[in-house]
Amino acid sequence: MNIAEQLLSSILDTLPLQIAVIDESSSIVYVNQAWRSFGLFYGLDIETDWFGISYLDICRANQDTNQPELLDGIARVLDGTQNHFTTDYLCHTPTQHPTWLTLNLQPIQTALADGKLFLLSLTNITHHKQTEDRISALTLTDPLTGLANRRRLEQFMHDEWSRAIRHQSSLSVMMVDADHFKQLNDSMGHAAGDECLRQLANILRKYTNRPGDLAARYGGEEFVLVLGQTTQQEAAKIAERIRQKVMALDIRFAGHRLMTVSIGVASLGLNHSHWQKEQHARNQSLNFSEDGNLLIEQADKALYVAKKQGRNRVEVYDKHHRLTVPLSV
């Protein structure tokens, strides 16, 4: 190794970036010190000989990465169809917590090798990603109850509506409202009122054990519970259980009035099959406000009737846009 090569190697070894040089088959021909140090997290020796190891094989072995995008992007650069590729991906190591990395890959202009060579660099962005996730969580969470806020609800409903239409599956939404909450606040004080809302939130949270479920604070004393793959009949039963659990809290106010909730339920499901087919044919041209908001609007209308009928009850909005009274106190 001549002086220039020694100097270049020393410079690369001082960089915090994990750097490797690979050939057209993705075989590694060089790694710097930062790359070797990261290998320690996999239980490898600092002096491990990386020469000849396929980087694509390393990626395939890491099942937690976004493999299709990662592998395809690397392959496009190696075969010359793309000049540069960058992506963020999650990397799980056997001895460390999950690590987020930014990968950059591009060809090197050099006459030192017979074939083409490519510069691959990895930047550890775990701290940045964790900070970003914390900030994102704060912007999507109701600070009083810890449930999702309205912004998060809108995002979630957009995804779940699309999934339900695409897979022709059930989806139910319930609007939950604390009855006479102004009186409760006036008689018990706002601190006690806030505690009542937190207790109601805790009840709703117990019904969100699946990826397609979400409990959100809609505003004031109104909450929304989204239940994926849940039929109208199932949702109505859950709503009734929630109503009874709130009564079981035995919170009294304003002359011993019992804290109760009114609930409106709306569903998209197998009992809507004809309507679903029509909706499925139209869904490409519809936006979220015309689709996903529909169930929230219907649940809100059912809630309105529940309050008109005397509160402390469950009402269901049916597929013919008629309000029914499946459950009563």
Cα separation, 249 vs 12, in Å, equals: 65
Catalytic member of 221, 240, 290, 297: 221
pLDDT higher than threshold 90 for residue 145: yes
Cα separation, 56 vs 88, in Å, equals: 16
Higher pLDDT: 134 or 17? It is: 17
Which of 146, 105, 98, 148 lies closest to 124, judged by CA?
Answer: 98
Residue 284 lies in a domain: yes
Predicted TM-score (pTM) of this structure: 0.60
Q: Give me the pLDDT at residue 109, please.
A: 84
Q: Does 168 lie in the same domain as 127?
A: no
Please report, rounded to a whole number, the percentage of residues in the chain having pLDDT higher than 70: 85
CATH number at residue 304: 3.30.70.270
Q: Does 285 lie in the same domain as 216?
A: yes
Residues 24-42 have a mean pLDDT of 90
At 261, list the tokens. Answer: 């909730």
Based on the residue annotation, tell me whether 297 is a catalytic residue of this protein: no
Which of 150, 173, 145 lies closest to 160, judged by CA?
Answer: 173
Q: Give me the pLDDT at residue 131, please.
A: 82
Q: Does 218 lie in the same domain as 120?
A: no
Q: Does 165 lie in the same domain as 63?
A: no
Q: Give me the pLDDT at residue 324, please.
A: 46
Which of 172, 243, 184 lies closest to 208, judged by CA?
Answer: 172
How many structural domains does the chain have?
A: 2
Q: Does 62 lie in the same domain as 42?
A: yes
Contact at 8 Å (CB) between 232 and 324? Answer: no
Residue 277 lies in a domain: yes
Per-residue pLDDT tens for 260-295?
A: 999 999 998 644 444 444 454 444 433 444 456 889
Residues 119-145 have a mean pLDDT of 87
> Quick one: pLDDT band at residue 113, thresholds 50, 70, 90?
low
Last residue of a domain, one of 104, 131, 158: 131
Helices 190-205 and 232-248, interaxial angle, to 10°? 140
Cα separation, 241 vs 170, in Å, equals: 20
Higher pLDDT: 11 or 329? It is: 11
Last residue of a domain, one of 72, 102, 131: 131
Domain that holds residue 200: 142-324
Cα separation, 258 vs 278, in Å, equals: 44
Cα separation, 169 vs 229, in Å, equals: 6
Residue 137 lies in a domain: no
Q: Does 193 lie in the same domain as 171?
A: yes
Cα separation, 155 vs 225, in Å, equals: 14
Higher pLDDT: 61 or 31? It is: 31
**Average pLDDT over all residues of the chain:** 85
Cα separation, 173 vs 268, in Å, equals: 9
Per-residue pLDDT tens for 163-213?
A: 888 888 999 999 999 999 999 999 999 999 999 999 999 999 999 999 999
> Quick one: pLDDT band at residue 39, thresholds 50, 70, 90?
confident
Per-residue pLDDT tens for 50-99?
A: 999 999 988 887 765 567 889 999 999 999 999 999 999 888 766 666 78
Residue 280 lies in a domain: yes
Is the torsion defined by CA of 154, 158, 159, 164 positive or negative? positive
Higher pLDDT: 126 or 106? It is: 106
Q: Does 114 lie in the same domain as 170?
A: no
3-state secondary structure at position 175? strand
Q: Give me the pLDDT at residue 24, please.
A: 94
Residue 263 lies in a domain: yes
The DSSP code sequence of 125-153 is -HHHHHHHHHHHHHHTB-TTT-SB-HHHH
pLDDT higher than threshold 70 for residue 322: no
Alpha helices in 146-217 (DSSP H): 150-167, 181-188, 190-205
Q: Does 297 lie in the same domain as 182?
A: yes
Last residue of a domain, one of 72, 104, 131: 131
For 232, the enclosing helix (H) or strand (E) is helix 232-248
